[in-house]
Chains A and B, each alone.
Chain A
Amino acid sequence: MSKPMSTSASGPRTASVRPDDTTPAMCFDRATLAYGGRVVWSELSMTVQPGEFLAVLGPNGSGKTSLLRALLGLAPLAAGQLDVLGRPPRRGNPAIGYVPQHAGFDRDVPLRGRDLVGLGIDGHRWGFGRLSRADRARVEAALESVAARVYADAPIGRLSGGEQQRLRIAQALVGDPQILLCDEPLASLDMRYQQEITELIGDWASDKRGTVVFVTHDVNPVLGLANRVVFVVNGRWAAGSTDEVLTSESMSRLYDAPVEVLRVRGRIVVVGEGSGAGFDLDEPHHLPGHVGAHA
């Protein structure tokens, strides 16, 4: 089992801290998560304050999604403690909104954008029920907030990836959550849509002082937004600000191999030492070489 590398306690962010904001949005205390007998991350200690934007980075299969599942109450910890808004995680927590990876709806699924958003309000409730007038107004407002009203009545399977992700964000926000969990929401979207989606999430976070946990294998789209970073690889992790975590020294320790972190024209590029055959952070086991453009 590997040891945690660094811990960074988060200090108070701004002067204007409201009383109810003293409860951390989430607090990991030596939390260990195992999945199928394998330790995904061990002794993770990290506190995220309300209004913070946490980017969860690391190669595929490193346990980024497991972190979200733990927060959603879907994966119990093997050891340690985790609190979400001062309470243990629980399934169906209405204070959490969730945006999944863009998977694409089947072309013919009989579902419109507004139905998807509506399911965000009452889809978990038993019964047949129809949305009340107040709830329909909330759906309308959520659609408006992501500028999706124009295509809200079209079959969802016929919309573009970017349009579908906008609806997903409306669905996650319609319940007025305090925390937004995003699992690779930009994957398989082109650059323009990536920007639009990040902006929507950033705007919500600053308007509502909402907390965002953003799982991504590429930090660059959220560099301007993320004020906290946790990098997970092979059971090890490093947490702190972008400047603390995304350094050559910290990344080399994480990967247990010489890694260089470069900042090129406002983008972060992680490169492994050596030459020849490249490897991507997505495939940590093919060490070492060129680490590719993802951080």
Chain B
Amino acid sequence: MITQLIHLLGYDFVQNALVAGILVAVVAGLVSRFVVARNMSFAVHALAEVGFTGSAGFILIGLSPVLGLLSGSMLTALLIGALGLRIRERDAVVGVIMGFGLGLGVLFITLNSRYASEAFAILLSGAITTVSRDDLVLLGIVGAITLVGLGAMYRPLTFATVDPVVAEARGVPVRLISVLFLLLLAAAVAEAVQVVGVLLILTLLITPGATAERLTAHPGLATVASVGVALFATVGGILLALVTTVPVSVYVTTIAFVCYLSARLFSSLPIASIRRDRA
């Protein structure tokens, strides 16, 4: 099995998949911390689903589905940002936008020829082993922009996330930060869809952050842990899928879930809770 794996690692498509997986996992792991802290799971779902509509629309007019996905989720991010900045109304706004977005998606699917159905299956459950060099370049660019953006707003984003009232009093542009983060999230969603697909997006954008929160109260370490979990699940999932016949996303979601459960178990241990209460 190991020799088989080493043999497979020589193939281009395997290398592409691993590079793409690592890129996506780093972005997803970082963003995930804030998704969890800002209670944005539902928004992630909407960004992915309406991203799917974007893809379907682009396929219809003969353009790249990846770009369509990116456009769909970006547009959704802007709409959510424009209509629902207050936390209280955000869930409703996300639901309203997602409802209409999915309706459009159904329309695009109906209008598409039946040859497009394979593309839809790929979008829904992910197909990292089909990533091409060109896709990799696009993933790299989007990933780099996301990382630079996140790095640039890391401190005020943290402040606005954990302590919004004081952050505003100290001059942090809280509303602007909300919109900027939604846009970053849209880019991260479009990336992660390449690995796990629209339906399983929550696995990469929520589980790592949620796992990290259970392990440490140190914000820096939590971020590292989140990226670690995302990398472990993604790379592990790709490698396991190579030597079996089960799809990548099944392994990625399972590994991430096991990580989360282990973290829950760890945080309930007496040693851990003492550390958490009085470090």
Contact = CB atoms under 8 A, between A and B. Distances in A.
A127 B151 contact: yes
Given A126-B155, A127-B154, A112 B217 contact: yes
The 5 A-B residue pairs whose C-beta atoms are closest, nearest first, are A92-B171, A123-B159, A155-B217, A153-B279, A98-B169
B58 to A, nearest CB: 34
Interface of B: 33, 37, 151-156, 158-159, 162-163, 165-172, 212-214, 216-219, 222, 276-279
A158 B217 CA distance: 10
Contacts of A122: 155
A148 interface: no
B219 to A, nearest CB: 5
A154 B217 CA distance: 7
Contact of B213 (A72, A108, A128, A168): A108
Interface of A: 68, 72-74, 91-93, 96, 98, 100, 103, 105, 108-112, 115-116, 119-120, 122-129, 150-151, 153-156, 158, 168, 171-172, 181
B155 A128 contact: yes
A98 B155 contact: no
A122 B277 CA distance: 26
Contacts of B162: 105, 109, 111, 116, 119
A91 B171 contact: yes
Nearest to B210: A108
Given A109-B162, A124-B167, A155-B276, 18 more contacts: A92-B171, A98-B166, A98-B170, A100-B169, A103-B165, A108-B213, A109-B37, A110-B218, A110-B222, A112-B219, A119-B159, A119-B162, A127-B154, A128-B151, A129-B154, A153-B217, A155-B279, A168-B166
B155 to A, nearest CB: 6
B156 A125 contact: yes
Residue from the set A91, A111, A181 with the largest chain B CB neighbour count within 10 Å? A111
Nearest to B222: A110
B277 A154 contact: yes
Contact of A154 (B171, B222, B279): B279
A124 B213 contact: no
B169 A123 contact: no
Contacts of A153: 217, 279
Contacts of A154: 217, 276-279
A225 B155 CA distance: 36
B243 to A, nearest CB: 36
A110 B37 contact: yes
Nearest to B209: A110
B169 A72 contact: yes
14 contacts: A73-B171, A91-B171, A92-B170, A92-B172, A100-B165, A100-B166, A116-B162, A123-B158, A124-B159, A128-B155, A129-B155, A153-B217, A158-B277, A172-B166
A112 B218 contact: yes
B171 A110 contact: no
A283 B159 CA distance: 34
Given A126-B156, A129-B155, A156 B166 contact: no
